[in-house]
Amino acid sequence: MRPKIVLFGDSITEESFAVGGWGACLANHFSRTADVVLRGYSGYNTRWALRVLDRVLSSVDSPPAALTIFFGANDASLPDRSSAFQHVPLHEYRQNLIDLIARIKGRWGATVIVLLAPPPIDEEARLRDPYGGSTSGLPERTNQSAGLYAESCISAGRDSSVPVVDLWTKMQTIPGWQKAYLRDGLHLTADGNKVVFDELVETLKKEGLSVASLPSDLPLLSEIDPRDPLKSFPDTK
């Protein structure tokens, strides 16, 4: 049975299997060595993630080799604007991540867990695409708030001894990141998806999970003897 890599998160995870998405790229990257399982839920925050965690984990039939936790973009919604119902206070967000990690470790102790911090926010783009058609003239998310939640995610990862992909910092290292990496100020462009993919593959590799470290499922074509192909295949009865 192939090992599994489970992707658990909000809309940025749910959309990751779209063309060019980071989840689709991950599935392609591990195409002969691991199955990538999508568990993305648009609009969810860590409070809701804790509520549905048992159901999510029960839907995976065996302990995965790795699991990503990618929440924070909705938790960081401002409490006095149009996405207020998604807001989770900063201290609760941090504790929710710690609780998610603890419960997953309690169920699957050997699974590699990776936290992904929320990406930055392009506030001008959010004003052009306001949630719920808000006419307040104010973005429902700010980059400053996203940065605080990213810092909290990093802190939760450190205290839980799990690696963190700091997208908030990484994406802002190039000029013009707002349009290069974000299509609507929040969700990812193709280039933004590539950043997530590249950073995640490198993080998994550091945790001992890579294409090179995993056996291929069934013989590769180069391993099959053209003079007697069937001898290369195991008995599947």
Q: Which amino acid is at 55?
A: R
| Catalytic annotation, pick one of 59, 184, 213, 225 | 184
* Pairing status of strand 4-9 against strand 35-40: parallel
Q: Is 80 a catalytic residue?
A: no
Closest C-alpha among 174, 168, 175, 173 to residue 196: 168
Q: Is 155 a catalytic residue?
A: no
Q: Which amino acid is at 174?
A: I
| Catalytic annotation, pick one of 11, 16, 77, 145 | 11
Reading phi first (left if > 0) and then psi (alpha if -120 to 50, else beta), residue 52 is in alpha
Query: Which value, in Å, is the radius of gyration of the alpha carbons in the chain?
Result: 19
| Catalytic annotation, pick one of 10, 87, 122, 187 | 187
Closest C-alpha among 71, 154, 63, 149 to residue 104: 63
Q: Is 11 a catalytic residue?
A: yes
CA distance linking residue 216 with residue 57, whole number of Å: 26
Active site residues: 11, 184, 187
